Amino acid sequence: MSGFVRRRLLWGSLLLAATLAVISAYARWAGATTREAYLSGWVLFGLMVLLTGYNWFKKIPYLPMGRSEVWLQFHIYAGLFTGVLFLLHVRGRWPTGWFEIVLTVLYVLVMVSGVLGILISRGWPKRLSARGGEVPFERIPIVRRQLREQAEALALNSVAEARSATIAEFHARRLHAFFAGPQNFLSHVFEIRLPLNALLNELGDLNRFLNEQERKVTAQLVTLVRQKDGLDYQHALQLTLRLWLFIHIPVTYSLMLCALAHIVLVYGFSAGVR
């Protein structure tokens, strides 16, 4: 059995055991007390505080608190376990009050962004490696500028050399915007080649109006277009790999603030409840 399967089995078993334990315990509490929502609420909130703490843990790596990899596994499975607690806490019903709806929507956003984040964190590095030509994220604007300048130089020089502005016009019309910044973000994310193929077809169609010398220039432009497309692919995927946390973390803090307010409101309006 590989280490990967063993780890998943271990964490999965722990999650299953915790789920079964909490469901059976909750059934007993529900019969014994009317305040079971308080108990599930506090456990849920405590776990959420622990989960939020992972972000802080990452900021103090010099503290000897074990490997981040293990803490992330805990974060994932404890995060899934909050789903069980949340369902128990709301008794499987969709909330009716606007504040509770906000709270639920925030919780769902945190959960969904977390699950999506883990899915792309596990899958997309393979896509980046398989595509090749990787450029560190910080260097992407520099490489993009170099490609843009090369394309501009080719287009401009072709005017003087071939005494024709066909390529320069095409550059101004189609390529200038393509090289100016990141393009086709969603196409890259969903692995769709349509925009690239369309541009390459247009460049191919242009050849019928070009002489031999100009065709050599378009061949060079095709190479640059492919390189820029690869760069955009790297940009789209690397940006998303970084950006999902910019959704997950702020929404988490919003959820924590709302949860705090929820606790205050619950206790503020709980007079007479036994």
Partner 1 sequence: MDTAHFVIDKPERWDSSFDSDMTEADVNRLLEIRPFSEMNSGKFSKRTPLRGILKNDARIRRFKNGEIIVRAGDYGSSAFLVLAGNARVVLDPGLPVSLLGQRKSQHKSLFQIVAQLWTNPRDPEVRTPAELEQDTGVKVGGEFKGVFLQDVPRILDEHLTATMSPGDFFGEIAALSRSARTSTIFAVGDATEMLEIRWQGLRDLLRFDDHLRHHIDRIYRERTLATHLREIPIFRRLNDEQLKRVIEQTQFGTYGDYDWSGDYKRLVKEGTRSPEKETIIAQEGDYPNGVVLIRSGFARLSQKFGHGHRTLNYLSAGSQFGLREIAHNWAHKDTVPFQHSLRVIGYTHVIVVPAPVMEEIVLPTVPRDQLPEFFTPAELAGTEQSESQQKLDAGAKIGPELMEFLTENRYFNGTSTMVIDMERCTRCDDCVRACASANEGNPRFLRHGQTTGRIMVANSCMHCADPVCLIGCPTGAIHRGQTGGEVVVNQATCIGCSICSNNCPYEAIRMVEIREEDGAFMVDKDMKPIVKATKCDLCSDQLGGPACERSCPHGALKRMDMNNLDSFAKWLQR
Contact set with partner 1 (CB under 8 A): 2-4, 58-69, 71-72, 121-122, 124-126, 128-129, 134, 136-137, 238, 241-242, 245
Q: How far is the CB of 150 from partner 1 (least distance, A)?
A: 22
Q: How far is the CB of 227 from partner 1 (least distance, A)?
A: 18
Q: How far is the CB of 125 from partner 1 (least distance, A)?
A: 5
- Amino acid identity of residue 140, one-letter, is I
Residue 36, both tokens:
């079971």
Q: How far is the CB of 127 from partner 1 (least distance, A)?
A: 9
Looking at the Cβ atoms of 51 and 162, the one nearer to partner 1 is 51
Q: How far is the CB of 255 from partner 1 (least distance, A)?
A: 21
Looking at the Cβ atoms of 150 and 240, the one nearer to partner 1 is 240
- Amino acid identity of residue 79, one-letter, is G
Looking at the Cβ atoms of 61 and 268, the one nearer to partner 1 is 61
Looking at the Cβ atoms of 22 and 128, the one nearer to partner 1 is 128
Q: How far apart are CA 244 and CA 114, in angstroms?
A: 8
Q: How far is CA 107 from CA 93, 199, 267, in A?
A: 14, 42, 21
Q: How far is the CB of 182 from partner 1 (least distance, A)?
A: 16
Of the candidates 35, 97, 31, 26, which has an alpha carbon nearest to the alpha carbon of residue 272? 35
Residue 139, both tokens:
């260097």
Looking at the Cβ atoms of 5 and 186, the one nearer to partner 1 is 5
Looking at the Cβ atoms of 61 and 92, the one nearer to partner 1 is 61
Whole-number CA gyration radius for the chain? 27
- Amino acid identity of residue 67, one-letter, is R
Q: How far is CA 16 from CA 12, 20, 23, 85, 110, in A?
A: 6, 6, 11, 13, 21
Residue pair 49/256 in contact by the 8 Å Cβ criterion: yes
Q: How far is the CB of 193 from partner 1 (least distance, A)?
A: 22
Looking at the Cβ atoms of 138 and 212, the one nearer to partner 1 is 138
Backbone conformation region of residue 213, classed left if phi is above 0, alpha if psi is from -120 to 50, else beta: alpha
Q: Write the CB contacts of 74 (distance below 8 Å, at least 6 apart in sequence).
A: 54
Q: How far apart are CA 230 and CA 182, in angstroms?
A: 11
